[in-house]
Amino acid sequence: MKRLTPLDAPAAISILRQALGSRAAVDWSRDAANGTDDAITIRWAGASDTPRRLRLRAIETAGPSTPSLDPSTDTDPIVWVLTKSTAAHRDALRANGVSFIDLRGAVHLTLPWALIDRTDLTPTQIVRARGAPVDPFADKSSLIVRTMLEFTSARSWSVRELARTTGVALGTTSDVVRALTDRGLVTLTRAGRTAQIRIPDVAAVIETWAHAYDWRMNRSLPVHVPVGNVDRLLRRLPTLFAGGRRWALTLQAGASLRVPHATWERLHVYVDLPSTQKNALAEFAATAGWEPASDGRLVLLAPYYRATVWPGLRQLERLPVVSDLQLILDLWNYPLRGREQAEVLLRSLVDERR
């Protein structure tokens, strides 16, 4: 079973939102426990019932067969995403009561709480390059977007300039730019033989990136540190991390030092560890004398973006904090008022790029 690509998932969600209408809020997250699914939560405006959950899953082929489910694991409804389909295939799925999203602009839902059959929706235009699509939001590839977002919206780039500035190989840079262009996230303006590249809509880039990344993709370990309340713990961090290893605050504690908005009870700290092993965080905590605890106020994070989480660190009130962009990405799917805080930071980032 394959995972939806970074292009397919946002395209499917865009079509689903159209089908459900403005009264439905559709939130996306990648389920770390199930590497093949994209988890969707739907909330209805003014409704008092519990949010509805479903999962998006890619169909391998556009053949006539009906996709199979595993009753032991498929507890949430599955909505299949068709990247290539025929009228006969869609009719077969309808006849068998299978819910699907066709990226060409159709949605068929046969669910206990939704019966929808639409074929008039606006698809997201995706032009696919040959071979496997590149993920523009992978660790090193994301240097392209990160670099472009450091400058004003008027700044334009050539592919060679981006490759030279970021240190990403020219071929990879070209593939990343093509993937971003296909998704409509960057614009290309021809100037002779050179294409000038710009990001016209920062918010669109962030939302698409948040479909491909979730803060829970970082390995984490909550620990108990015997230091009073969280404010006191925050001020003690330079002493606690005095061993010389690089570290930085993120999520609500980090955002509170940049643009205070929401309250928080836990400190999330990225730690630069030399090992990618799962026990690296536990070994680091043991060296520091901290006991793992599910309710620990300090949460250690081994960064998913091992190379690109560190550029852009700033000192705020003598504490290292990740870049505004990384704060926004981490907060976007954080359940405790994370989206609110992320949107506050996003407005600040957009204003600074004007």
CATH-assigned architecture of domain 215-353: 2-Layer Sandwich (3.30)
Looking up tokens 């929706």 gives 121
Q: Considering only CA atoms, which of 278, 276, 300 is closest in space to residue 288?
A: 300
Residue spans per domain, the chain: 8-118, 143-201, 215-353
Give the model's pLDDT for residue 237: 93
CATH topology of domain 143-201: Arc Repressor Mutant, subunit A (1.10.10)
Let me know: does 173 contact 158? Beta carbons within 8 Å: no
Give the model's pLDDT for residue 37: 61
Looking up tokens 């959950």 gives 53
For residue 147, which amino acid is it?
T
Residues near 129 by Cβ (< 8 Å), separated by ≥ 6? Answer: 175, 178, 179, 182
- Token pair belonging to 130: 């040959």
Give the model's pLDDT for residue 1: 47
Paired strand residues for 27: 41
Alpha helix ranges (H) inside the chain: 8-20, 87-95, 143-148, 159-166, 170-182, 202-212, 230-240, 251-256, 280-288, 324-332, 338-353
Phi, psi dihedral angles at 253 (to 5 degrees): -65, -40
pLDDT tens for the chain, 354 residues: list them. 456 766 677 788 888 888 888 778 787 765 544 445 677 888 876 655 678 888 888 875 544 456 666 555 557 889 999 877 788 888 889 988 999 999 888 999 998 888 999 988 877 655 444 455 688 999 999 999 999 998 887 889 999 999 999 999 999 999 999 889 888 889 988 877 778 999 988 888 998 898 788 898 899 999 999 877 888 999 999 999 987 889 999 999 999 999 888 788 899 999 999 876 778 999 999 999 999 998 999 999 999 999 999 999 999 999 999 999 999 999 998 988 888 999 999 988 888 877
- Token pair belonging to 327: 């704060």
Give the model's pLDDT for residue 8: 77
Give the model's pLDDT for residue 71: 55
The interaxial angle of helices 324-332 and 202-212, nearest 10 deg, is: 50
**What single string gives the DSSP state of each residue in 89-124?**
HHHHHHHTT--EEETTTEEEEEETTEEEEE----PP
Give the model's pLDDT for residue 62: 46
In eight-state DSSP terms, residue 77 is P
Give the model's pLDDT for residue 328: 95
Whether the pTM exceeds 0.85: the reply is no
278-306: b or e for each residue (b if 16 or more CB lie within 10 Å)?
eebbeebbeebebeeeeebbbbbbbbbbe
